[in-house]
Structure 1
Amino acid sequence: MAELLILVGLLVAVFVGYNIGGSSTAVAFGPAVGSRAVRKVTAGALFTVFAFLGAWTIGRKVITTMSTEIVDATAFTPEASVGVLFFTGLALLISNVYGVPASTSMTAVAAIVGLGLATATLNTALMFTILSAWIVSPLIAVFTGVFIGRYLYPHLDAIFEFGRLTNPLIAIDTQGSLPRLSINDNVAPRDLFGSALVVAIACYMGFSAGASNAANAVAPLVGNGSIDSSPAILLAVGAISVGGFTIARRTLATVGNDITEMPILAALIVSTVGATIITVLSWLGIPASLAVSTTSCIIGLGWGRASRARTLAELVTQSPADESAPKFTTGALKLHPVEGKKEVAAGPTVGELAEGETPDPDRQHASGDRVSNIGEKDPEKLSAEGLFHQEAAARVVTLWVITPVMSLVGSYALFSFLG
């Protein structure tokens, strides 16, 4: 019976890793595929390599935390391991059904906490540290996004210009006896820099995803001794890789609901901030959500961009009921204020690039165009065409809370009954 449960646990772990690969590959390489810097197959290959590097290095700390430190390793019986992995997979199902980037890490930890409460083996001091990180890290992402959106984004937008390459910057050449990477050497220097930056940040995000997510698939199995950490990492990354090469192809084609209408510069900023936060937390051995950090940065970036219509004094003194107050929206990211010109879109969005649409010439701008000062623009223009509304933010945050709570309650009830 124990051998059967271990086999079931391995299969569930593969299922969890498969779904992680399908979603994380699209999030990490959506801008790179959309701008045609890489093809989908190349994206899957690069994501696999960097996810493996992340999981094999600092990801081990997260596996140790989730397998032996949140609860005593002896609590991970074969039955308990299957139960914890079941609730982790359930989180993926719920997030897919509602189209919300729910946190697999938070839900997996919640399932482990339910096990710890039911078996009286929970490390409360460590859980306090993890919960504190879960509160602080989204706040850091929000305020970082606000600062960049308010003070840096317009200037970065005036410098960088991203387009869609005719041929991929990096591709996998399969014509020889062995597959090898090929580099497009016919790219203009400006496009080369922009495309290389897109790919580099995508690889960095893949590294972060591997560091934080491998533990979600295999930590319970490592905890009960069914598999050692190194083979467990290989199993997790293998399953993640299969997801990246299969179901991720469809999500890469649509580039994901969360970034489809986002300018590619904004997508890169969000990816960098979110990946950095998760990499630091993974290095500390704290499991955390890449989806929560990136979505929090989206909210902050949009609000910060819209808030440029007001000075700090006006923001502090204005009434919350003021209709001209900046809204939680990234719609302002699509507008580029230039002195002496009408508002024009700042550049192609990720979705347009993925669909093969070419930006109109009047949407492009030169680096010499002057960026408006804070407080100069009409707030009605900067907060128009919202992409991330307060209602959507409320729905996302609600699911962030509900899914871990459901996992914790269900896990506690199950293991209390089994105990």
Structure 2
Amino acid sequence: MVSGLVVIGLLVAAFVGYNIGGSSTGVAFGPAVGGKIVNKTTAASLFTLFALVGGWTVGRNVITTMSEGIVPQQEFTLLASIVVLFFTGATLLLSNIYGVPASTSMTAVGSIAGLGLATGTLNESMMFGIVAAWIIAPVAAFWIGFLFGRYLYPHLDARVSFTRFEAGLVTFERTGMMPRVSINERAHPRDIVGAAAVLIVACYNAFSAGASNAANAIAPLVGSGSLTASQGIILAIAAIGLGGFTIARRTLDTVGDGLTDLPILAALVVSLVGATIITVLSDLGIPASLAVSTTSSIIGLGWGRSSRHTTLVGASKTAIDTEPTLAVRSSADRARELSTNALLAETAEPDPETERARGPTIGELATEPDIETRPLDPDSIPRVGEESQEDLLREPPVMFDRVATQRVVFLWILTPTLATIGSWLVFSAML
């Protein structure tokens, strides 16, 4: 007979998974839904499917780390597992109240670390490796984004377009017993390629989310022996999928929330970078934050794009100038303000028919009836050092103002810290 504590543990685990699905589905499939490539139901279905694949394969390594690597498995009594999951869910709720996407992985690890500190069984070498990965991952994401934004982004932006058709890219006609599938007659081959890229990256993000987040919901219960790893993965993904089919619909309405102001190409790049870093870490059994890596990549991409107005030699001369002119100081100050328009900056005149700049943002894809853009001539792209700084750093809007960024980073540090301290205090009182 299933005990009451087991039921409570399963419900708490399902609650954590439910919230993960609600937030992650919108981030992964926001561009695809906004671009009318898939609808919300299809997005939730695909997210659940690929999250299951990620959790069932790569995610098992993370479950092993969190269920027996940070603290010995015998420390996970059923009551201890419930307490750990409670602090994971509570701090996640706190972050959601403040509107900041918390790192579920960092919070879950913090809760487990509190148990290890209270019992004196914390695997310090394992924790050192995990924390080191938490530092290295966003730094790597930043520099990958920077290099891509400085050297590759304009060239890819000139060759790829993303179009939103109000009637959808794919249409279904019911003229007989079987519906006939056809591509929107207004779609160009490049639109199909762009849509395929959006969908593939969305599915890859779902895979990465399942690989890294399934453990956050059920690792303590697996450690306590209440569930096997396979049973836990099924429970976690079922809860994540339920969140994707319900509360994620609101997130999908806002089309990925914080990604809304990004050009669609930039969103794909940072999603690909973040998902790849987290997938690699998950394969190594290291729980890490997809949100932190993705945000770091966004900062790096915008910074790299806005730095194209100067060469490395020119930047070095400015850095060693002991008496910078007022103009140089003003230029440096403006370079610190990463503007969305640094990613939207045109390298040629807008399309004469649509009178639009290239690269619509995700928000535009979600809210405007029909958006069609045309790639530019790749030969028209200026080389690094020849692009106008005024075009790259046109204001407003600001992608990352300092106050908002500081608040986000502060809460990213605060939530796992609170989980660790709260868990440690509770377990210290219980033991």
Same fold, TM exceeding 0.5?
A: yes
Query: Structure 1 pair 145/183, CA: closer, same or farther in 2 (3 Å)?
Result: farther
1:79 is displaced (CA, Å) by 1.6
After superposing the two structures, state which structure 1 stretch, 72-81 or 321-330, moved more. 321-330
1:59 is displaced (CA, Å) by 0.3
Within a 5 Å distance, the mapping from 1:256-267 to structure 2 comes to 256-267=256-267
2:48 counterpart residue number: 48
Cα RMSD of the aligned pairs, angstroms, is 2.7
| 1:54–1:207 Cα contact (<8 Å) kept | yes
TM-score by length of 2: 0.90
Alignment of 1:211 with 2:232, yes or no, is: no
2:73 counterpart residue number: 73
Query: Structure 1 pair 169/292, CA: closer, same or farther in 2 (3 Å)?
Result: same
TM-score by length of 1: 0.93
1:275 counterpart residue number: 275
1:402 counterpart residue number: 414
Alignment of 1:329 with 2:329, yes or no, is: no
Within a 5 Å distance, the mapping from 1:4-403 to structure 2 comes to 4-169=4-169, 184-186=182-184, 187-318=187-318, 322-325=329-332, 326-331=335-340, 332-338=342-348, 345-359=357-371, 364-368=374-378, 370-384=380-394, 385=396, 386-403=398-415
2:430 counterpart residue number: 418
Over alpha carbons, which structure has the higher Rg?
2
1:379 is displaced (CA, Å) by 2.0
After superposing the two structures, state which structure 1 stretch, 248-257 or 150-159, moved more. 248-257
1:189 is displaced (CA, Å) by 1.9
| 1:337–1:344 Cα contact (<8 Å) kept | no
| 1:208–1:278 Cα contact (<8 Å) kept | yes
| 1:171–1:181 Cα contact (<8 Å) kept | no
Q: Distance in 1 between matches of 2:147 and 2:44?
A: 33
Give secondary structure in 1 for the equivalent of 2:204: helix
Q: Distance in 2 between matches of 1:174 and 1:14?
A: 40
| 2:59–2:214 Cα contact (<8 Å) kept | yes
Deviations 1:126-163 (A, max 9, x none): 11111111000000000000000000111111011101
Query: Structure 1 pair 98/161, CA: closer, same or farther in 2 (3 Å)?
Result: same
Deviations 1:297-318 (A, max 9, x none): 0000000000111111232343
| 1:158–1:369 Cα contact (<8 Å) kept | no
1:256 is displaced (CA, Å) by 2.8
| 2:165–2:369 Cα contact (<8 Å) kept | no
Q: Distance in 2 between matches of 1:247 and 1:182?
A: 32
Q: Distance in 1 between matches of 2:22 and 2:239?
A: 10
The amino acid across from 2:150 in the alignment is: R
In structure 2, runs of 5+ residues without a counterpart are: none
Give secondary structure in 1 for the equivalent of 2:262: coil
Q: Distance in 2 between matches of 1:252 and 1:53?
A: 22
| 1:42–1:170 Cα contact (<8 Å) kept | no
1:51 is displaced (CA, Å) by 0.2
1:257 is displaced (CA, Å) by 2.5
Give secondary structure in 2 for the equivalent of 1:131: helix
The amino acid across from 1:243 in the alignment is: G
1:265 is displaced (CA, Å) by 0.2
Q: Distance in 1 between matches of 2:24 and 2:30?
A: 10
1:205 is displaced (CA, Å) by 0.5
Q: Distance in 2 between matches of 1:10 and 1:181?
A: 42
In structure 1, runs of 5+ residues without a counterpart are: none
Query: Structure 1 pair 175/105, CA: closer, same or farther in 2 (3 Å)?
Result: farther
| 1:39–1:171 Cα contact (<8 Å) kept | no
Deviations 1:164-190 (A, max 9, x none): 03444569999999xx99854445322
| 1:105–1:287 Cα contact (<8 Å) kept | yes
Q: Distance in 2 between matches of 1:13 and 1:183?
A: 40
| 2:350–2:356 Cα contact (<8 Å) kept | no
